[in-house]
A and B are shown apart, each in its own frame.
Chain A
């Protein structure tokens, strides 16, 4: 597909929308200008994990001066969910997690809304609860969703409600038991990772307004079409009467894909007689009531033969999804598809379980769950290498999946950059199998490596569509169905159109996504946007070019094959005539109105069922290598350098790719060393950036090495592959392996806090 020498493609390209964000423009939650008519919403969240509840004082709250509306589960008794409706819009009689909404208020000011909530008293009658996977799976455990079989969408999950198993995905091949019996070395270990918070800097919020039939929502979400569908279903509104316009998104990382408080905002706006309502959560509410990422427990067994080949692997990945699995279902398929790590193993048994507990609903975060799984696999491989007396690099190289390997009955591995990624990172930090110095002082150093792969999937029945309109008013305006959350999506679109149509970038305006531009049942792809939008976009620009050239060809009475677009002009290679497109659009050519060109491109995932290998599109490869320094006396850890490599197929915007990689490295350090969502009796006690620290500039490694590897993906636009969702995979394990090389102590639980490392060092000595 790379037919022309790219001139913009592959060159530095800044974020097109950056300028407005840097001048303080109002486009984020809480910014919307709506004048004095604006009402303010606040939500009452449950303070207990599992209890019967009764609300008193709701009528008094309604009668308070300045209160416009109050809703509880009595008035709107609705279930909520994209696949399985295992949440409620507002609790009715019983809460199953702390943070579950109980009531929503709209009032003249945030203070009055608060006062109204304070008027409502909640009587809790505590019920037995479970907070971790072990307790939830115990024989007599209280059940989180005993009536689950009655939930809409129950057929979407493989559940065992009587055991708190919310969903299960299995992937098996060969005979693991027999192979393990034959293996020269067998190692079994358990690894864990703590629950986290996405913690975008912009907390959740938006504005809603009922305008005649139409309920308008101005939101800051990543998947407006999914949200339209879910909110419409919960509130019994025809989807064509619900319109979501996306504004800037101040970070999502997965927390603004699935519906959370947006549905409550929509519900209360239907009660305020056309007055707009704003909701903007406080940081504390964001921590206490929005999704967590699920904690992982991974039990991994691998068998190695005497040639250094991994011949068998069994892995059970248990995820504590809190009170809702809905947002995690698709992610579990990705986890299963990546379950062996990037290794070709003939006998495998991968089990991915989601376990219900009475904690916050779970949602995936970027590639976090895949990264956490590699935390287990990639340390396991190092442990296995040590057991067999092999170099961890050699063991990896010997077992890597290669292009041409038949991974599933209908999926053959494509050419990939797995090996380049690991080799490049190893070179960047000067990794070697042996520790390079003796620990003489209290500070020791060590280096570690890890690799990773992350499945890129296309959700069934989802599509991408791009419409470009060129006219005298807006020049080239673009309607898309994806959302820029900081990954450079709009820049990519602008860059691609400018390149393909050979037009100045200033002509191109990408409009914020508006569900009103698409059919009521439109389901847009919201991940792998580069790939899906890219495909649709290439179609649209080809059609646009055809339209412009055919118009001019008729006018000039010249065959279209003579014509081309060069730097904003239509030119004829035969007659040397030229016509500025700007003139054509603004003034027309000759008689009549100036023309309006409109071209659309659509990418559709195959209409197959959603069995695992049918949704699998490709794998993204990553490699990480870390050097750490550990103070043996205090447990203080410093990441000296961290190299991260990713195979992006073809870097359309190389600096943008590196920016994503560097961001992924920082986030990885943050979640590896600092982050853990903590609960007390199921109630989050991580409520701010003191109790839940995230990485600051002080936590940056001295050296960051972002490395771009390019093994083209034949089906992607210009051979490119998505990156932003995969950047973290392998980083934690590289740090874990480096700590082991430095200290001889193996940490198997995330995060590696100073306290945990200190305790482990003490236990070791």
Chain B
């Protein structure tokens, strides 16, 4: 079955016709050609595909496209302004929050959601917020540090 939906992504409104079985991840990647949300498992286990759906972190591989009708979505592409990087992105660069980089967009999205809930999270809270984001390079310690530094700089 097909559905006509409209939603906003990174501040832009889009209208699309989607199949009922299509996931949000597929729509973002193939229809909208945004590659920031990554494919890592399609079973909700890795967080590479994380996006913000009305401000909440979701695994976009687990969300069916028709469900996002009317919603607001943010992917990593929408994190930075036109010129400036988001403070989280800067901090990831400065503090080695990136190794191979494949997990980074998902990490940034989870971090962004965390910082909008708690402006100065403790290390424990950061660990907890990232538990659904796998990093095979094992960069967790530096990712946590990047987020911590960014949160301190932000105020």
Contacts and interface: CB of A to CB of B under 8 A. Distances in A.
B139 A662 contact: yes
B77 interface: yes
A14 B96 contact: yes
Interface string B114-148: 00000000000011101111111111111010000
B98 A202 contact: no
A14 to B, nearest CB: 5
A248 B101 contact: yes
Contacts of B136: 199-201, 251, 253, 667, 694
B65 interface: no
Nearest to A688: B43
A700 interface: yes
A656 interface: yes
Q: Which of B41, B76, B96 has the most CB of A within 10 A?
A: B96
Nearest to B103: A201
A249 B100 CA distance: 7
Contacts of B34: 24
Given A33-B33, A249-B100, A202 B92 contact: no
Contact of A14 (B75, B94, B102): B94
Cβ-closest 10 pairs across A and B: A24-B36, A666-B138, A250-B102, A486-B100, A21-B101, A486-B99, A663-B138, A26-B35, A689-B45, A659-B96
Given A670-B138, A689-B45, A700 B93 contact: no
Contacts of A22: 76, 85, 89, 92-93, 98, 101, 104-105, 108
Interface of A: 12, 14-15, 17-19, 21-26, 28, 30-31, 33, 199-203, 248-253, 280, 282-283, 485-487, 655-656, 658-659, 662-667, 670, 688-690, 694-698, 700, 704
Contacts of B17: none
Contacts of B79: 23
Contact of A30 (B29, B101, B105): B29
Contacts, number: 166
Given A26-B35, A694-B136, A698-B131, A485 B100 contact: yes
Contacts of B27: none
12 contacts: A12-B94, A18-B101, A22-B85, A28-B102, A30-B39, A201-B100, A201-B136, A201-B137, A655-B95, A659-B142, A689-B134, A694-B136
B140 A700 contact: yes
B73 to A, nearest CB: 13
A663 to B, nearest CB: 4
Contacts of A486: 98-101, 137
Interface residues of B, number: 53
A663 B103 CA distance: 14
Given A24-B35, A200-B102, A700 B43 contact: no
The dominant DSSP class at the A interface is: loop
The dominant DSSP class at the B interface is: loop
A26 to B, nearest CB: 4
B46 interface: yes
Contact of B38 (A201, A655, A690, A694): A201
Given A21-B104, A202-B100, A248-B101, A695 B35 contact: no
B42 interface: yes
A688 B102 contact: no
Given A199-B136, A655-B95, A698-B128, 11 more contacts: A15-B93, A18-B93, A22-B98, A22-B101, A23-B85, A25-B35, A200-B102, A659-B96, A694-B136, A697-B130, A698-B127
Contact of B76 (A23, A282, A283, A688): A23
Nearest to A662: B141
Interface in B42-59: 42-43, 45-46, 48
